[in-house]
Amino acid sequence: MIKKISFALLVIVIAFFIRAFFVLPTGSLTNQEIIIATTEGHVFDFLTNKGKWPMWWPGTINSTGQEYCFNSSRFAIKKISNSEVYLATYTNSSQINTRISFIAADKSRVKVRWQGETALSYNPIKRVMQIRDIDVTERQITAILKHLKEFLENDKNVYHIDVKLTRVKDSVVLAKQIIMNEYPGADKIYPMINILKKQIKQHGAVVIDSPMLNINQTGKNSFAVMVGIPINKEIVAGNGSYINKMVLGNILIASVNGGPNTVRNAVKQLANYRRDYGLISPAMPFESLATNRITQKDTSKWVTNLYYPIY
């Protein structure tokens, strides 16, 4: 049994030396690729902006902010261009020059490649140590790329909202729109909603979802304010109101907690999402007021669902 184990170890050692001296080219290291389901702009933003590395880096950063550590390896950014990041990679006693590059595979997928090379020593002992360090570095790079993929494919990390794709479920909406000379608060919005609710009750219809809101700034001191209420059937709209029949197509949805500024920022991010992925909107986006903003004074407890029709 001992002889068999010794023979197996000898075979492994011989195989390692054959790989080190005859298989690996003198200047080779790694050439790893990964496909990330995101836009090229997002990869550019998080890779070429050194200030954003701490947001996605899976390891630690030293006190000077110059070296990014992951397990037993250290990475120092030497140069950043529009599509590449050059790094010096340190593992144990070896320094390896590596390079991260990226290119769009299509409008919603990006190919990220991490390549590296080093001159292998002809000194047997040093060469074996270098090969060991190369193996370690390759494993580290694999893990880092996997983490980058997971980070960028999470919309909340990029847009700070969790975006989902669903289908429009309410087709009949009683709506009303007026122009205001200032951004409206709840005291301006809910009287409009109450007018619609009164009309809905008069015609024997039923409210089937939360009130809808869209605010569009049309001038320096001009805001087009639209409110709507989804109902179960089409009715005759009253004076100043109208029936809006929504197309039962695809729609982006995100939910946010917070006051007007939080909601406005989220609306912008949802619009950025639509634009980044080249989606076309057949109708205007809107907020669904899940929380009654009149009765709930604490804006941190407001829940607003954001919708953006797309195709």
Query: 153, 182, 210: which is the final residue of a domain?
Result: 153
Nearby residues of 161 by Cβ (< 8 Å), 6 or more positions away: 155, 254, 255, 256, 266, 269, 270, 306
| Co-location of 128 and 179 in the same domain | no
Domain that holds residue 266: 164-310
pLDDT at 9: 54
3-state secondary structure of 278: coil
pLDDT of residue 137: 87
CB contact at 8 A, 184 and 225: yes
| Residue 51: partners with Cβ closer than 8 Å, 6 or more residues away | none
72 pLDDT band, cuts 50/70/90, is confident
96 neighbors 30 (Cβ within 8 angstroms): no
Quote the pLDDT of residue 125: 78
pLDDT at 20 exceeding the cut of 60? no
**What's the CA gap between 278 and 39, in Å, rounded?**
10
Structural domain contains residue 214: yes
Residue 119 pLDDT grade (very low, low, confident, very high; cuts 50, 70, 90):
confident
Lowest mean pLDDT among 3-12, 67-76, 233-242, 245-254: 3-12
Residues above pLDDT 90, as percent of the chain: 73
Last residue of a domain, one of 153, 184, 219: 153
Identify whether the C-beta of residue 100 lies closer than 8 Å to the C-beta of residue 84.
yes
70 and 211 share one domain: no
pLDDT of residue 4 exceeding 60: no
pLDDT for res 29: 66
47 within 8 A of 85, measured Cβ to Cβ: yes
Q: Taking the alpha carbons of 190, 192, 198, 202 in that order, is the dihedral positive or negative?
A: negative
Residue in this structure with the two tokens 């080093």, named with its chain if needed: 118
Average pLDDT, the chain: 89
Handedness of CA 118, 75, 44, 157 (dihedral sign): positive
Please write the tens of the pLDDT for every residue from 133-185: 888 888 999 999 999 999 999 999 999 999 999 999 888 999 999 999 999 99
Whether 227 shows a pLDDT value over 80: the answer reads yes
Q: Residue 10 has what pLDDT?
A: 52
Evaluate whether 146 touches 70 at the Cβ level (below 8 Å): no
Beta bridge partners of 215: 225
Residue 91 and residue 146 in one domain: yes
Using CA atoms, how far residue 244 sits from 171, 173, 175, 233, 236, in Å, is 8, 5, 7, 11, 12
Q: What CATH number has the domain bearing residue 96?
A: 3.30.530.20
Kindly indicate the confidence band of residue 40, based on its pLDDT and cuts at 50, 70 and 90.
very high
Q: Which residues pair with 224 in a beta bridge?
A: 179, 216
pLDDT classification of 27: cutoffs 50, 70, 90: low
Does 158 map to a domain? no
Q: Are strands 60-61 and 30-36 parallel, antiparallel or unpaired?
A: unpaired
Under DSSP, the state recorded for 19 is I
Q: Output the pLDDT for position 249.
A: 92
**Position 159 in a domain:** no
Cα–Cα distance, 194 to 197 (Å, whole number): 5
pTM: 0.79
Q: How many domains does the chain have?
A: 2
Tell me if 276 is assigned to some domain.
yes
Which of 153, 187, 208 delimits the end of a domain?
Answer: 153
Alpha-carbon gap, residue 245 to 57, rounded angstroms: 47
